């Protein structure tokens, strides 16, 4: 399993996303290392198909696929928790479901 | 950039109704935007503070470069206010980013409290946790309560938390 965390320094959310991701990988018994990819400019964002920070991909798939037409740019992603709250990081249960699907 | 006790920059910006808002004090100046999850997470709490403190003038200012972030365009701002059936404060676009630079805004949100004499009395986050609605913008409310009572503000400065202001390049 390949696990990537793509992040941009303009958003302070990536440490929380990384901590959630590593905790869930550990809890699920998945021995995958997280590859961290810093996105530094718009050209790289387009090249990496980066819809915003943080983005988590497992085996190349975004765990919360963005809507069609979402631009690739240096921005912060808006996620929804399962209770409907807006959040700068994915709901941990969405991360867990993605890990289980890929395991 | 200003510090606690400094005179806050006055400004005149156009709101989403096309009206130029005059600067009045005491005031709360909130740098915010449409696209940032932190600004969105704190939004309802900040709107409620404006409804609760009717003797204070609230100004919401979007400082972001809308060319690179179309969700922060003036049209998108107008559409958001219309969809919300109005806000309890004017929502204004700082097209030149001069107001944001004058205040030294770093993030969205970034909150500034100005007293009736025009001096900055609080700067920072609305409260300690964007995820916890029960926090109820408590740092901002504490600052307002102390200022309006003529007392020292116990916590005049906190670290703003949110997305970096998107400066024009």
Residue indicated by tokens 């950039």: B1
Kindly state whether residue B43 falls inside one of the protein's structural domains. yes
Tokens, residue B39: 């600004």
Rounded alpha-carbon distances, angstroms, from residue B66 to A58, A75, B105? 32, 12, 17
Using the Cβ of A34 and the Cβ atoms of chain B, whether some distance falls under 8 Å is answered with no
Q: What residues of B are in contact with residue A69 (Cβ under 8 Å)?
A: none
Tokens of residue B40, six digits: 């969105």
Reported as a pLDDT band with limits 50, 70 and 90, residue A67 is: confident
pLDDT in tens, B38-63: 999 999 999 999 999 999 999 999 99
Rounded Cα distance, B17 and B79, in Å: 11
In this predicted structure, the answer to whether residue B1 has a pLDDT above a threshold of 90 is no
Reading the block at residue A94, the tokens are 């969405």
Of A56, A54, A51, A88, nearest to A72 by C-alpha is A51
Q: Give the C-alpha separation, A11 to B2, whole Å.
A: 24
Higher pLDDT, B150 or B70: B150
| Residues forming beta bridges with residue B20, ordered by sequence position | B14
Residue B126 inside a domain? The answer is yes
Q: Report the alpha-carbon distance of residue B19 to residue B21 in Å, rounded.
A: 6
Q: What is the mean pLDDT of residues A47-54?
A: 96
- Model confidence over B91-122: pLDDT tens digits? 999 999 999 999 999 999 999 999 999 999 99
What confidence category does residue B159 fall into, taking pLDDT thresholds of 50, 70 and 90? very high
Yes or no: say if A6 and A77 are a contact pair by the CB < 8 Å rule.
no
pLDDT at B8: 98
Confidence of residue A3 (pLDDT cuts 50, 70, 90): very high
Q: Cβ contacts (< 8 Å) between A76 and chain B: which residues?
A: 35-38, 163
pLDDT at A61: 96
Q: Which of A76, A79, A86 sits opposite B163 (nearest CB)?
A: A76
- Residue to mutate among A11, A77, A91, with most B CBs inside 10 A, is A11
| pLDDT value for B131 | 92
Average of pLDDT values for B73-81? 97
Q: What integer pLDDT is reported at residue A20 of this predicted model?
A: 97
CATH code of residue B115:
3.40.30.10
Tally the domains of chain B. Answer: 1
Chain A stretch 63-92, residues whose beta carbon is closer than 8 A to a beta carbon of chain B: 71, 73, 75-79, 85-88
Domain that holds residue A47: 3-102
The pLDDT of residue A103 = 87
Domain-embedded: residue B139: yes
Exposure of B91 by Cβ count < 10 A (0-12 exposed, 13-18 middle, 19+ buried)? buried
Q: Nearest Cα to B144, choosing from B57, B60, B72, B37? A: B57
Is B38 close to A79, i.e. CB distance below 8 A? no
Q: Give me the helix-helix angle, A92-102 and A14-27, nearest 10°.
A: 50
Q: What is the pLDDT of residue B68?
A: 87
Question: Do residues A44 and A72 lie in contact, with contact meaning Cβ atoms separated by under 8 Å?
Answer: no
Q: Band of the pLDDT at B20, cuts 50, 70, 90? A: very high
The C-alpha atoms of residue B156 and residue B146 are separated, in whole angstroms, by 10
Query: How high is the pLDDT of residue A79?
Result: 96
Beta bridge pairs of residue A53: A76
Phi first, then psi, for residue B144 (nearest 5°) are -65, -45
- pLDDT tops 90 at residue A68: no
Determine which helix (DSSP H) or strand (DSSP E) holds A34, and give its type and residue range: strand A34-38
Residue A92, pLDDT score: 97
A78: distance to nearest CA of chain B, Å? 5
The pLDDT > 90 percentage for chain A reads 92
pLDDT above 90 for A71: no
Q: Can you tell me the distance from the alpha carbon of A51 to that of A70, in angstroms, rounded to the nearest whole number?
A: 7
Between CA B21 and CA B15 the distance in angstroms is 7
Tell me how many domains chain A contains: 1
pLDDT at position B150: 97
Give the strands of the sheet with B120-124, arranged side by side. Answer: B91-93, B57-62, B27-31, B110-114, B120-124
**Residue among B36, B131, B133 minimizing CB distance to A76:** B36
On whether residue B92 sits in a domain, the answer given is: yes
Kindly determine whether residue B164 and residue A10, on different chains, have CB atoms separated by under 8 Å.
yes
- pTM summary value: 0.93
Contact across the interface for A75 and B162, Cβ inside 8 Å: no
**B112 φ/ψ angles, rounded to the nearest 5 degrees:** -125, 130
ipTM of the complex: 0.87
Check residue B138 and give its pLDDT: 98
Domain with B122 in it: 24-162
Q: Is B28 helix (H, G, I), strand (E, B) or coil?
A: strand
């Amino acid at each position: 399993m390949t696990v990537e965390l793509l992040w941009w320094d303009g958003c302070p959310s990536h440490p929380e996303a990384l901590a959630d991701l590593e905790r869930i990988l550990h809890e699920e018994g998945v021995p995958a290392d997280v590859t961290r990819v810093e996105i530094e400019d718009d050209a790289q964002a387009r090249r990496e198909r980066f819809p915003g920070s943080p983005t988590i991909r497992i085996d190349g798939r975004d765990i919360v696929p963005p809507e069609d037409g979402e631009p690739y740019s240096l921005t912060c992603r808006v996620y929804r928790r399962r209770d409907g709250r807006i959040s700068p990081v994915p709901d941990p249960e969405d991360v867990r479901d993605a890990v289980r699907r890929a395991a | 950039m200003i510090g606690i006790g400094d005179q806050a920059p006055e400004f005149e910006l156009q709101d989403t109704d096309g009206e130029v808002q005059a600067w009045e004090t005491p005031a709360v100046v909130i740098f915010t935007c449409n696209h940032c999850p932190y600004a969105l997470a704190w939004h309802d709490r900040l709107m409620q503070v404006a409804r609760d403190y009717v003797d204070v003038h609230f100004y919401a200012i979007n400082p972001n470069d809308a060319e690179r972030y179309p969700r922060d365009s003036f049209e998108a701002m107008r559409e958001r206010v219309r969809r919300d059936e109005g806000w309890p404060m004017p929502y204004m676009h700082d097209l030149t980013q001069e107001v944001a630079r004058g205040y030294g805004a770093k993030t969205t949100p970034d909150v500034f409290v100005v007293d009736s004499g025009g001096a900055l009395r609080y700067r920072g986050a609305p409260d300690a946790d964007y995820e916890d609605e029960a926090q109820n913008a408590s740092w901002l409310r504490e600052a307002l309560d102390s200022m309006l009572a003529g007392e020292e503000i116990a916590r005049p400065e906190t670290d703003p938390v949110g997305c970096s202001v998107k400066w024009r390049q």
